Chains A and B, each alone.
Chain A
Amino acid sequence: MGVGAVLDITQTALLTQRAALEVTGHNIANAETEGYSRQSVSLSPRQSLPLGRVLLGTGVQLDQVQRAYNAFASMNIDRKTSTLGDLSARDEYLGILQSVFNETEDGGLENQLSAFWAGWQDVANNPGGTAERLAVVQHAEELVSLIGARRDQVVSLESEVKSRVTQEVDSVNDMLSQVATLNNEIVGMEAGGASANDLRDQRDLLLHKISESVGVNYFEQPNGQTTVFIAGRLMVDGGNSYELDTDSSGGQLSITWHGSLPTSEDISSQIDGGKLGGYLTMLQDTLPGCVTGLDDLASSLVFEVNSVHSQGVGKTALTSATMTEIADDPTAAMSAAASGLDFHDRIDDSGAASLKVHVYDAGGTPLVAGGSTITITAGMTLNQLATAIDGVNGLSASVTNGRLTVSAAAGEGGASFAFSDDSSHVLAALGINTFFSGHDAGTIAVSATADNVTASQVQADSTFGLGDGRNALAIADLADSRLSIGGTTQTFGEAAGELLGDIGVEAASVGRQKGFQEQMIDQLVARRDSQTGVSLDEELSNMLKFQHAYTAAAKLLTVADDMLKTLVEMR
């Protein structure tokens, strides 16, 4: 032991305090780095050496540089972040959906419906008036284009969300492979016992970002590697990562996983939370719900209006009528799905239902006062119906390319014809003498011309008057009728209101939850950061502390130097 020992101590002190200052500098430099955790040095005295009967210290040593980290707080934040990601994704698209369905303006669906029904009352007030007839067709065109536009907007939102899902899946896969790479690097760097603080921070940040995208579970293995699961499926195992895939082959977009297995499985229903979870909820529930709501409304509108319309008569009787629907198989029962008729299930072919057809000569006089009854027999096919109508004196009927055409047969003395009393709904289902064509929000269209708008009804003696507005009134009455729309008994107005209400309620609830979740995360992050974040004041005071220690050690060096000089200069 000698002065050399003092020099040794001085050297450890200088090196250690400089290292501590470096850590402080690293902290200050990364004060605003995302995901950075505060690092600190832990120092201990070096092993003492005996000098005679006493033990003398040999200086200071740097044991490790550790990071302030709270695994529980981080995982808790990640979990809440997943929920927030889900809510944010839905909030964004519900916002867009709300502006699509925004009825707080005058052009809303319910208002257009009211204008449409009002148009029928105008026709009823003056059935012979061309202006009123044109107006109701115009109202119908506006209504139809509004319903169609709504549906188109929802469908285009759907495809936008789908592309977001694909992007999100790509980014999750990318981050998963980075986690696997970091797993390897961390194990490599920590082989000597040191802690790879910055790499661990990076890995935590990646896991946090994955949480934002999708609900994720992870835990650290004893060797320092993190194992990651999504939807209960293994995604990162040590240095290996597996990918999520998207599959839209079934028309629906699904998320699949196959891991190390040869075949993929659909895990869409198990994906929970994160933006992906939110997008999937939109794709599986919200958006299809909007489309179904619009489709149900349009389908009921088409059928109910057509049911009444098809039993009326326009400005003049018909000379020829062709169905707007197409039967895939005219030899199948019209009430069976095989017929390919969209409203096949609405046809009553119990044998008790029938319709009446009235044929007029060139002078407008009925050939048979009271008309001819055509009974819709059980399992009647379109071809059989054509034969039955063809059998009526003054009419000819045939089926071409799945479409029934009924015409007045001049050879049999018929010049025009009209329908009434269709208790079987077959005319509405086929689209004969109907107002609308189509069967849902995407296909609904106006098929009647102003003159064909059936404001009137045939009287018991088969005659009809131009001033008769009973049929128009019967259609206007649909406005206040409670009908089965989408399985619920309600009016058309209520159905339109429900569409709006459902979106409004969902958006309001998601918005509220999102606000709540954000505040909660703010608090959790503040609590975590109070442990792991960098405080500049603290770092500055540490800096002073280490600086002074360094200065003092340097002073010690001078003293040791003086001591050596004293020894050397002794004579």
Chain B
Amino acid sequence: MRVTESIIYRGINSNLGRLNSDIQQLNQQISSGKRLLLPSDDPVGAVSAQAIRGRLTAMDQQKRNCEAWKGWLQSTESAMTETQDEVIIRARELATQMNNSTYSASQRTMAAEEVNNLLEEAVSLGNTQYGGRYIFSGFRDDTKAFEATRNGTGDITAVTYQGDDGHHELKLGPSAKMESSLTGQEAFQGSADVFATLINLRDALRANDPTAIAGTMADLQNCTANFSAKVADVGSKVNRLDLRVSIVADTKLADTDRLSEIEDTDMIEAITALQAKQLNYQAALQAASTTQQLNLASYL
């Protein structure tokens, strides 16, 4: 082929230009640490990277959800455990004890006072708050769950539920939800009403009526069974949240790795490629300057 100067110059220009743009691209990949500078560098990778980013945000939120409701459920659990351990079990002990005919009326009156205190304690536990919200009020968590009606001497004669039957839910994942609350009715007034039972026991003790005292035993038994079942349920939910948090953490780690694989520059590969290109560029410059000297004019 007949080679003219312009062919040589154009060749030098376009080759050096291509090398330059390759070097520039590698430089950017190395200095920014990102392999994906523009979507066109890898359209499929760019789309999955974006989906992963969205998922990471969603997973952060799942973790926040779990943390927010874990506190709530733990408050529920401790309020109910306390009611069971401190109130119901003690009331059962007193009822069993006072059922015995050896006790006198005054001893039973003293026991009645203790039961009355237990009743006050139960109402206050039923009105437990978490983050300023009454946890046993259903959706109406800005109002007290239980309101006590008192007689002239200040004794509680009835306890009414003021919340509604709403159950809070939390989002665990794209399609997973979990109920995260118990209404006061379910917790305290399930198969047996804790408050009514305690009121009955107190009044029976005051009336020094062993038959009536014995009559509350079955209700107290039911309360215990109801609380045990509910506490176990709440406890298992707390565990489920813990498990979820650790699953989310694992998935997040895997997704972060994948994101880095898609987006981040493989430094060793990029630096090796850059060195190869630099060598190539230097060789091209050398060749170009040698070619320049080959010219008939220098010999004439």
The chain A residues found within 8 Å of chain B, CB to CB, are 31-32, 94-95, 98-99, 101-104, 106, 108, 110-111, 113-115, 117-118, 121-122, 124-126, 128, 456, 459, 463-470, 473, 476-477, 479-480, 493-494, 496-498, 500-501, 503-505, 507-508, 511, 518, 522, 525-527, 529-531, 533-538, 540-541, 544
Contact in complex: A128, B53 (CB < 8 Å): no
> From A125, which residue of chain B is reached at the shortest CB distance?
B68
Residues of B within 8 A of A494 (CB): 51
**Closest residue on chain A to residue B37 by CB atoms:** A104
CB contacts under 8 Å to A, within B131-162, are 131-133, 137-142
Query: A535 to B57, Cβ gap below 8 A?
Result: no
Which residues on B sit within 8 Å (CB–CB) of A114?
Answer: 53-55, 57-58, 61
Residues of B within 8 Å of A463, CB to CB, are 164
Q: Do A467 and B54 contact each other (CB < 8 Å), given the known contacts A497-B47, A507-B39, A529-B6?
A: no
Least Cβ distance of B125 to chain A in Å? 19
Question: Could you say which of B5, B38, B54, B69 contacts A31, with CB atoms under 8 Å apart?
Answer: B5
B18 to chain A, nearest CB (A): 9
**Interface pair B1/A108, CB less than 8 Å apart:** no
Chain A residues near B268 (CB, 8 Å)?
none
B2 touches A531 (CB 8 A): yes
Give the residue of B3, B4, B61, B142 whose beta carbon is less than 8 angstroms from that of A467: B142
Q: Give the distance to chain B from A69, nearest Cβ to Cβ, in Å.
A: 15
CB distance from A518 to the nearest CB of B (A): 8
A118 adjacent to B60 (CB under 8 Å): yes
State whether A501 touches B5 (Cβ < 8 A).
no
Do residues A464 and B5 form an inter-chain contact, with CB atoms below 8 A?
no
Structural contact, A535 and B164, CB atoms closer than 8 A:
no
Interface status of B283 (Cβ within 8 A of chain A): no
What is the bound-complex CA distance between A385 and B51, given in angstroms? 43
With a cutoff of 8 Å between Cβ atoms, the chain A residues found around residue B175 in the complex are: 480
* Chain A residue at smallest Cβ distance from B53: A111
B139 adjacent to A466 (CB under 8 Å): yes
Decide if B51 touches A493 in the complex (CB within 8 Å): yes
Instruction: Please tell me if the beta carbons of A95 and B38 are within 8 angstroms of each other in the complex.
Output: yes
Judging by beta carbons under 8 Å apart, are A94 and B40 in contact? yes
Which chain A residues border B49 with CB–CB below 8 Å? 103-104
Binds A, one of B113-121, B225-233, B292-300: B292-300
State how many angstroms separate the Cβ of B123 from the closest Cβ of chain A.
20
In whole Å, how far is A385's beta carbon from the nearest beta carbon of chain B?
Answer: 30
Q: How far is the CA of A118 from the CA of B138 in the complex (A)?
A: 23
In the complex the two chains form, is A104's CB within 8 Å of B34's CB? yes
> What is the CB-to-nearest-CB distance from B184 to chain A, in angstroms, rounded to a whole number?
13
Q: Which residues of A contact B46 (CB under 8 A)?
A: 103-104, 500-501, 504
List of 6 A-B pairs having minimum Cβ-Cβ separation, nearest first: A465-B139, A504-B39, A504-B43, A467-B141, A507-B40, A468-B139
Report how far A83 CA is from B38 CA in the complex, Å: 24
Q: Residue on B with the closest CB to A122?
A: B64
Given A497-B51, A530-B2, CB of A540 within 8 Å of CB of B39: no
Which chain B residue shows the least CB distance to A476?
Answer: B171
Q: Give the chain A neighbours of B51 by CB distance below 8 A.
A: 110, 493-494, 497
